[in-house]
Chain A
């Protein structure tokens, strides 16, 4: 089966210049990332702020041009397209932004915002588009008569639903959610996550969930990729990554989720500068298990299914189990169940 989206060794460096405009190195935001998403699958990309996960999402859609590497959308070389061909293909891959107050044009009514992809990508008549807008609003849990209102009249959760309706309008096969629920209230988070899950199942969407909230990720993801300083350090089925993380960084991230107790020592120091990442394994400066080999060479992702980029992955002590009952994931699951009872 052809993956919906496939990234092959994608790289994006942002040049840094000094006061006189001379090049002075580069921020290695995305530094050789390969990954894929299948139809109907939710891939979560997690990591601290600044690890490059949002850049990766934008590079995958070519909202930011990659420096090198290949992007394939449904087997077609998306990175080779340009101009009209690229724009026409954009209907297959959409994005939902974090801030629902910034992602909707304040001078466009809800109807106009959702109608725009239909104008760009379908030959529907005005009446046909209006019917589709009403249908999309219903799908995301809003009333069709809200179409004539303006974004400022809605709450954050409602706006995010409008943004989801807009993303769905062109009939995409892939949606990238860049922290799509981070800006929302917890109870609203659960509702919007449920909506996303329903839509993913209904339309067999491939979904990339970019998030720093491991509770949300546990709730929705089929597969997880952990990013550190522009590289993926661990990748595998969500259940395995959460139950038995193989990379020390993933373990530290999971241990830092509130409710996990203080069994694992907190990481020492700050994230190194992405302008001058440390030699060898990017994580060795903060890794409690670091050995001499770790600063000499860069480990590649290794393993079958559940892969980790760590020389010591197989010799690390067993990971502390992740306490599901105390995480945001469990909280969200319970909240979601309650909302479903109330609505159903």
Chain B
């Protein structure tokens, strides 16, 4: 790969984007926290202690303890695992479902496109979270089912995006040149269309991870995601609401974690959009 391949130029533009870099650093910190949770957690996230119930943050318990005497810092660190895993796996699933279907719709056209587009429209007509809740309730309460529910609910966005972009890319001269050269349709789709529509898909994926993390927290809050006693930011918020007046730290720390991670992902997504789209304004 030479110095000026499109991917390298985009990376260089991203590295110059300050807000995106801030977002990236925060996301990397969260990922590191999730990966290193078993080693950096000061305590076992499941270990209860009747001697330390609802303790306020202190030198011993940085984030305080919860109603069962569990260390909130440890639970927030372990909770990052559930949130990030849910976000990345659910969006990965949504890409795997949505992009091939969108490509087929955009490139095949005809009744297949009409059918796929109407189904995607129907799914998009239902609010994302409502659809995820309905699917998760149908599949049964478990983190894996919540991820599957989020993946399915997030996929129509990728179907629509991939279809529209593929439709556009397919009318370009380079796509016509590819056909004139004797490329079979699948090869034109994978070698010429997909790499050219990848940047907007990547941007959307980053923003969708943020949405999926909120969805996972919401499902866990409702008891449809991560099952207690396993830690999850959403379920921590749920149990915190009973003590919001005399133990606000139970809500503040998982809430801040969700807020910070989602904000960082959105900043990173916006920066990626600027870096990947040659039409966007240069700073």
Contacts and interface: CB of A to CB of B under 8 A. Distances in A.
Interface in A79-121: 84, 87-91, 94-95, 97, 99, 102-109, 116-117, 120-121
Contact of A63 (B6, B174, B180, B192): B180
Contact of A88 (B173, B182, B191): B182
Interface in B186-223: 191-192, 195-196
A105 B188 CA distance: 11
Contacts of B192: 105, 108
B246 interface: no
Q: With a 10 A CB-CB cut-off, give which of B172, B176, B177, B195 has the most chain A CB atoms.
A: B177
B179 interface: yes
A109 B2 contact: yes
A87 B182 contact: yes
A102 B181 contact: no
Contacts of A106: 6, 174, 196
B181 A107 contact: no
B15 interface: no
A108 B190 CA distance: 13
A322 interface: no
B180 A90 contact: yes
A129 B174 CA distance: 21
A63 B176 contact: yes
Given A97-B176, A102-B172, A170 B196 contact: no
B2 A107 contact: no
Nearest to A116: B181
B5 interface: yes
Contacts of B183: 87, 116, 120
B4 interface: yes
A73 B105 CA distance: 33
Given A63-B176, A103-B173, A103-B174, A120 B181 contact: yes
B178 interface: yes
A216 to B, nearest CB: 20
Interface stretch (A18-26, A148-156, A278-286, A302-310): A148-156
Contacts, number: 72
Nearest to A90: B182
A105 B178 contact: yes
B188 to A, nearest CB: 10
A332 interface: no
B10 to A, nearest CB: 11
Interface string B162-184: 00000000001110111111111
Contacts of B182: 87-91, 117, 120-121, 170
Of B174, B179, B192, which is in contact with the most chain A CB atoms at under 10 Å from its CB?
Answer: B174
B203 to A, nearest CB: 16
A117 B181 contact: yes
A150 B5 contact: yes
B181 A105 contact: no
Interface residues of B, number: 20
Contact of B181 (A84, A90, A97, A153): A90
A109 B5 CA distance: 8
B5 A166 contact: no
Contacts of A88: 182
A63 B183 CA distance: 12
A61 B6 CA distance: 31
A95 B177 contact: yes
Given A102-B172, A109-B5, A150-B5, A63 B179 contact: yes
A97 B2 CA distance: 26
B111 to A, nearest CB: 14
Contacts of A152: 4, 6
Given A87-B182, A90-B181, A94-B180, A150 B173 contact: no
A166 B5 CA distance: 19
Given A90-B181, A90-B182, A107-B195, A97 B173 contact: yes
Contacts of A107: 6, 195-196
A120 B181 CA distance: 8
Interface in B82-133: none
A150 B9 CA distance: 11
Contact of A102 (B173, B178, B184): B173
B174 A94 contact: no
Q: Which 3 A-B pairs have the closest CB atoms?
A: A90-B182, A103-B173, A102-B173
26 contacts: A63-B176, A88-B182, A90-B182, A91-B182, A94-B181, A95-B177, A95-B180, A97-B176, A97-B177, A103-B174, A105-B196, A106-B6, A106-B196, A109-B5, A116-B178, A116-B183, A116-B191, A149-B2, A150-B2, A150-B6, A152-B6, A163-B177, A166-B177, A166-B181, A170-B181, A170-B182
Interface of B: 2, 4-6, 172-174, 176-184, 191-192, 195-196
Given A87-B184, A94-B180, A95-B180, 4 more contacts: A116-B181, A149-B2, A150-B4, A166-B181
